[in-house]
Structures are given as C-alpha cells and as structure tokens.
C-alpha cells in the first residue's frame, strides 16, 4: 500500500536539534536520512558495530551530532522503525570518486548521462567556491560581492538537481511504507515542490521545521536563514535575478559568515546555543547597508571568528557614539 502519511523534516545538523526531532521521528514507520550509503550503517543500527568505529569509517562534518544521532537511530531501529539512507546526488559523487580511485578518468564518463551531469556540476561548483575564497581576501569589495553571487547562483542550481534526483529516488520507497519521515537540510525547499509534483493528491504531505518551537517566540519565524541562504533561495526560484537586493544580501553574507560560529557547540547551560548565535549574527548582518558591510569587512576579512566578533563589537561601538 503506497505512503499515506509523509513528513518532510527540515533541519540543521546540530546537536541541539535532536530533542526536537526525536518525538517527530517516532511517529513514522520509515525514516529516510539525507545521506549516501555509508559502510557499516546496518551493523551500527543493530549495534553489531560500535558507534565510534562506525564513525571512523566515514568523514562526518559534525561529529558530535553524528554520534548522538547514531544513538537515536539505534533506539528507533530497536523499536521496529526502518531507517534508510537516500541521497542520490552524493551517492553519485561517491561512485565517481571510487571510479577515479580505481584508475578511471573524466574522459571515460559518458556524455549525456546523469553521472556526467553530476560530475560537471560538482567540478564547476568546486571551481566557483575556490574562486570565491581567493577573491574574499582581495581588497576589491565589489568583485568579492560578485563572487558571492556567482557561487550562490551555482549553489542554487546544484541544490535543484539534488532535490530533483532525491525526489525521484524517494518515489521508489513510497510504495513500501504507509508513513515516512524524510530528513532534509533546512534550505532544500525545491524538494517540497518536487514531492508535491510526484505524489498523488490523496497523500498527506506535511512539513516539520525542527527548531520552530525555539525560533517562533524569538523571531516569529519557523527557522532562521542567513543572508546567503536567502540569496541562494532567490536564485533557486529566479536563477537570473539581479538587482540591489542581491548585492546587499551578498555583502551581508560576508559579514554573517565571519561572525557566526561554525564549529560545533556543546553547551549544557543553553538549550540552543547555535540557534541563538545565528539569530544574533543575522540581526547584525541584516542591520548593515552596503557601504557599512564594505567598511566592516575590510577590518575582519582576515580574522578568525573570535577575533572578527571582537573587532565587529568595537566597530559597532564606535558607530553608535
């Protein structure tokens, strides 16, 4: 019998999200993670493989989150839930890397295939990211803003392809379970559009924003989006968008990315330290106009996050005097 209850759960991969996600996942028969297949996953779920040993087999960007999530997944698996890994774009990248590791060359990837599409897009995306990093250390602010927009536009294109591929892969699972929770990164809104398009109208498709309970009373929104996220979303729906707003969001994202904490925070004294940090960083960045972003960025572009925050506070104090 096809799926009748489907939840698309938007989240960031932070330790603090898990207490919100746990009760939601427990409502569903099948849980689909936003990740490619990893070695030892099935053995880890059944506790035949120790979590720490499992995590050593794959590079996880957020180790504290990954460790705690594994414990949650083991608990859900023991309760009888099915847990799957479905992320075909990243799975294709894994296959491409394995192909190259075995001696394959780019010229051997057949034109017109999805493998070629993924390879070409990832190669261009990486080159665009490197170009941004190089430009970010220059003194030409307008060119740096242009590099941000170039990268965000391509990042949006990559996000759309990821979501299209994932929706098609998920469709194959929808015939096997009646209730499914699909994990998704907080900016993958194109996936929702694709699922609406692929699913029959009788299916109950809902969305869940993992930290809405935290964000709603503080910012009256279901989740927090930095200026760069907003710019990427604009390009997701309007790839050719241009104008002063794009310039301002790109400039604000440069400030946001310098002052927001990107390392995992484990703080027992505050329920959601990352969420609070992101709120403050967004408020700061969105309060600046283009000229102010240029002036501040010149002072902090070479600094660590800690030093950038200090210099930003000093700069703001001088501005308010």
pLDDT (tens digit per residue) in 45-54: 999 999 999 9
pLDDT at 268: 59
pLDDT per residue, tens digit, the chain (321 aa), is 577 899 999 999 999 999 999 999 999 999 999 999 999 999 999 999 999 999 999 888 889 999 999 999 999 999 999 999 999 999 999 999 999 999 999 999 999 999 999 999 999 999 999 999 999 888 899 999 999 999 999 999 999 999 999 999 999 898 899 999 999 999 999 999 999 888 866 568 999 999 999 999 999 999 999 999 999 999 999 999 999 999 999 999 999 999 999 989 876 556 899 999 999 999 999 999 999 999 999 999 999 999 999 999 999 888 876
pLDDT at 267: 67
pLDDT at 271: 82
Instruction: Tell me how many domains the chain contains.
Output: 1
pLDDT (tens digit per residue) in 221-240: 999 999 999 999 999 999 99
- Residue 214 token pair: 């935290």
Average pLDDT score, the chain: 94
pLDDT at 137: 83
Full 3-state SS string of the chain: CCCCEEEEEEECCCHHHHHHHHHHHCCCCEEEECCCCCCCHHHHHCCCCCHHHHHHCCCCCCHHHHHHHHHHHHHHHHCCCEEEECCHHHHHHHHHHHHHHCCCCHHHCCCCCHHHHHHHHHHHHHHHHHHHHHHHCCCCHHHHHHHHHHHHHHHHHHHHHHHHHHHHHHHHHCCCCCEEEEEEECCCHHHHHHHHHHCCCCCEEEEEECCHHHHHHHHCCCCCCCHHHHHHHHHHHCCCCCCHHHHHHHHHHHHHHHHCCCCCCCCCCCCCHHHHHHHHHHHHHHCCCHHHHHHHHHHHCCCCHHHHHHHHHHHHHHHHC
Structural domain boundaries, residue 71: 1-321
pLDDT (tens digit per residue) in 167-202: 999 998 988 999 999 999 999 999 999 998 888 665
Predicted TM-score of the model (pTM): 0.93
């Amino acid at each position: 019998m096809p799926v009748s209850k489907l939840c698309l759960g938007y989240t960031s991969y932070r330790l603090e999200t898990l207490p919100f996600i746990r009760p939601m996942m427990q409502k569903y028969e099948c849980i689909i993670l936003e990740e490619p297949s990893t070695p030892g996953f099935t053995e880890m779920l059944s506790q035949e493989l120790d979590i720490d040993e499992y995590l050593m087999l794959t590079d996880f960007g957020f180790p504290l989150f990954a460790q705690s999530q594994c414990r949650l997944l083991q608990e859900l698996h023991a309760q009888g839930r099915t847990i799957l890994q479905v992320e075909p774009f990243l799975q294709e990248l894994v296959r491409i890397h394995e192909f190259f590791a075995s001696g394959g060359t780019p010229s051997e990837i057949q034109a017109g295939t999805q493998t070629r599409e993924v390879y070409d897009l990832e190669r261009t995306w990486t080159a665009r990211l490197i170009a941004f990093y190089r430009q970010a250390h220059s003194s030409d602010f307008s060119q740096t803003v242009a590099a941000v927009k170039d990268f965000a536009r391509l990042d949006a294109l990559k996000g759309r392809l990821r979501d299209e591929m994932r929706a098609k892969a998920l469709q194959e699972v929808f015939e096997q379970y009646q209730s499914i929770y699909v994990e998704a990164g907080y900016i993958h809104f194109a996936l929702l559009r694709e699922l609406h398009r692929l699913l029959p109208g009788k299916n109950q498709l809902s969305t869940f924003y993992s930290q809405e309970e935290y964000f709603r009373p503080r910012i009256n929104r279901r989740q927090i989006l930095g200026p760069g996220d907003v710019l990427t979303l604009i390009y997701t729906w309007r790839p050719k968008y241009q104008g002063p707003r794009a310039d301002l969001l790109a400039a604000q994202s440069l400030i946001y990315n310098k002052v927001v904490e990107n390392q995992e925070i484990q703080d027992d004294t505050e329920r959601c330290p990352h969420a609070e940090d992101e709120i403050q960083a967004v408020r700061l960045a969105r309060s600046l106009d283009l000229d102010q972003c240029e002036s501040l960025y010149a002072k902090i572009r070479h600094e660590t996050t800690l030093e950038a925050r200090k210099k930003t506070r000093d700069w703001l104090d001088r501005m308010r005097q």
